[in-house]
Structure 1
Amino acid sequence: MNSRISLLKELRDKSPLVHCITNIVVANFQANGLLALGASPIMAAAIEEAGEVSAISSSTLLNIGTLDGVSIASMIAAGKMANEKGNPLVLDPVGAGATAFRKQTVSTLLAELDVSLIRGNAGEIAAIANFPWDAKGVDAGDGTADIVEAAKGVAVRHKCLVAVTGKTDIVTDGAFVAQITGGHPLMSQITGMGCLLSAVCAAFLSVGKNHPLEAVAYSLAFYKQAGERAAELASGPGDFAVHFLNALHLLKDSDVNQASIFIQKEAFQQ
């Protein structure tokens, strides 16, 4: 990266309010993770207040993990208010390729809203890009498609950032591609790790509006570093989750390996 960024200190100084319309499986872990990081979560999904809550929040996260018609309406209301206020809007398209309902919901949200970031696994981003991929429910699954090209295509089409997380994370705006290394295999053994990451990205974007690609790349590097630190202390998935929350709380900017972030400009292949 061209210059050292101090987003972590700014985030902890400002404690941005992150509005999460999320799924019932991960809400508690997501809220505790944001608190540990230094942000302030609000989990408000009711259609009667979704827009109002988004209006007072620093950023908004839409997670489609446990969908129903009411939650979709709430997401649209919250997303439109985030757009009106000029605040970051993050979409986590959980299991986007698993069912027609999920895929249609993602299409609707992307048509109705100006999303700042789509954060998903390879299978989810491939589904949005209409690339062939053998998704496994809400898990990434397997495929041979060029996921970097898929991500760049989605970024160009929807005029947003796209982050694909896995062993090596990537984030792109369609022209620049950042690759982020690190992390630990235990991170894939905890339900909600990806969902929490989307919320963490929303928090960092709220203080990194002027350099969004760098802000997302930094958040991915920070998250992987937290996973590495937690794994040093954990004996398995159970206590890893506890140590991970502690790592989110204890990590300092100087602990984040900025050398793990490599940004390059690439031509997008139509």
Structure 2
Amino acid sequence: MVDLEKILRARKDLREKEPLIHAITHPISINMVANAILFLGAKAICASHPEEVGEIMKMADSLSLSLGNITSERMVAIDLASQAAIEKNIPLCIDMVGVGASTLRYNFAMDILNKYHFDLIKGNSSEIRTLAKGKSNAIGIDVGKADEISKGNIEEIAREARNLAEEYQTTVLVTGKTDLVVTKDRYLAIDNGVETLSKITGTGCMVTAMISSFMAVTDPVTATLCGLLVMEIAAEKANTDGLYTFFVNLMDQIGLITDCEIREKAKVREIKF
């Protein structure tokens, strides 16, 4: 059974504690990521220079990482920041953007997964399948049609995600029309959101940073559900045919959405196979 009140308490705790979230992301989404963190009530810093990330991590309460638009410098920074986060014992969340698109990203992803413990591994179903099986139907950074979560393959994808969760002793988030939050012994499905989200670049990185923000004040599963529900219900409220209007409305709603609206609109279910 999903404890919705525990999820909502995380929002209150975040606003009261105002944790500092270190988000190493990429230029395409950095402004959106920093503002999403701020709109939730946390504080943001997006340092990515290898010579300063260790120092920044001494102040941070959570670390959010993205492999999007990867560069050699950011790869070094991600490695150093992950090590510093482990030493400080603060949460690590990683978004495996494009891990199915290139050998470079795949090899780097596997290297850091085997070096450090991440509290959450996030990706679309193609990215998670790449990590689980070494191959997928990814199209660049987008999910391949054959990997999209459906009634016909949801059990298979969930079990692949569980294998990852067991291997790395973590929580796995598989994003899609239906989002799956998977641990070694639980499957949770979230059916909120709108298709328009997939048409705006950077929204996945925003979700990663929002989840990482909540991880500073609660456990990974609760943080993941809270980040998803805030983002996706805000998107439902903001939805419109004008894509840029939708984007502006979405950013507003992230900060304006109420607990009552989340209670009324949340579509979270525990599934058993």
TM-score (norm 2): 0.91
**Alpha carbon RMSD of aligned pairs, Å?**
1.6
Going from structure 1 to structure 2, the CA distance change for 1:203 and 1:166 (only over 3 Å counts) comes to same
Among candidates 224, 227, 230, match of residue 219 of structure 1: 227
State the 1:259 CA deviation.
4.8
Counterpart selection for 1:147 from 157, 169, 189:
157
Whole-angstrom distance in 2 between the partners of 1:264 and 1:88:
26
Q: Determine helix, strand or coil for the equivalent of 1:47.
A: coil
Q: How much identity, in percent, do the aligned residues show? A: 32
CA positional deviation for 1:44: 0.2
Deviations 1:40-82 (Å, cap 9, x if unpaired)? 1101001111111122111001111122222111111111111
Alignment pair present for 1:15 and 2:23 = no
Counting only pairs closer than 5 Å after superposition, residues 136-175 of structure 1 correspond to structure 2 as 136-143=139-146, 146-175=156-185
Give deviations 1:210-251, integer Å, cap 9, x for gaps.
Answer: xx21221222122211110111xx332111111001000101
Misfit runs of 4+, over 3 Å: none
65-74 or 111-120, which deviates more: 65-74
Structure 1 counterpart of 2:229, one-letter code: A
When the two structures are superposed, what TM-score results if normalisation uses the length of structure 1?
0.92
Question: Which residue in 2 is equivalent to 1:236?
Answer: 242
- Matched with 1:198 is 208
Q: Which runs of 5+ in 1 are unaligned?
A: none
User: Within 5 Å, which residues of 2 pair with 1:52-201?
Assistant: 52-130=55-133, 132-143=135-146, 146-201=156-211
Q: Deviations over 1:72-104 (max 9, x none)?
A: 111111111111111110111111010100100
Partner-residue secondary structure (3-state), 2:216: helix
Asked if 2 retains the 8 angstrom alpha-carbon contact of 1:30 and 1:195, the reply is yes
Once the two structures are superposed, residues 20-57 of structure 1 have per-residue CA deviations (whole angstroms, 9 ceiling, x without a partner) of 11111111111111112212110100111111112211
1:260 aligns with 2:260: no
Q: For 2:201 and 2:40, how far apart are their aligned partners in 1?
A: 18
Matched-pair contact (CA < 8 Å) for 1:8–1:252 = no
User: Which letter maps to 1:49?
Assistant: E
Q: Give the corresponding residue for 2:150.
A: none
Counterpart CA distance in 1 for 2:217 and 2:5 is 15
List gaps (5 residues or longer) in structure 2: 148-152
Aligned to 2:138, the other structure's residue is in SS state strand
Q: Aligned partners of 2:28, 2:71: CA distance in 1, in Å?
A: 14
CA distance in 2, matches of 1:54, 1:95: 25
Q: What SS does the corresponding residue of 1:18 show, helix, strand or coil?
A: strand
The number of residue pairs the alignment matches comes to 262
Q: Is the 8 A contact 2:192 2:267 kept in 1?
A: yes
Letter in 2 for 1:133: S
Following the alignment from structure 1 to structure 2, what is the Cα–Cα distance between the partners of residues 131 and 148? 16
8 Å CA contact retained: 2:100, 2:135: no
The answer to whether the 8 A contact 1:123-1:142 is kept is no
Contact 2:192 2:266 (8 Å CA) reproduced: no
Query: Aligned with 2:68: secondary structure?
Result: coil
Which of 49, 57, 68 is 2:52 aligned to? 49
The answer as to whether partners of 2:233 and 2:266 remain within 8 angstroms in 1 is no
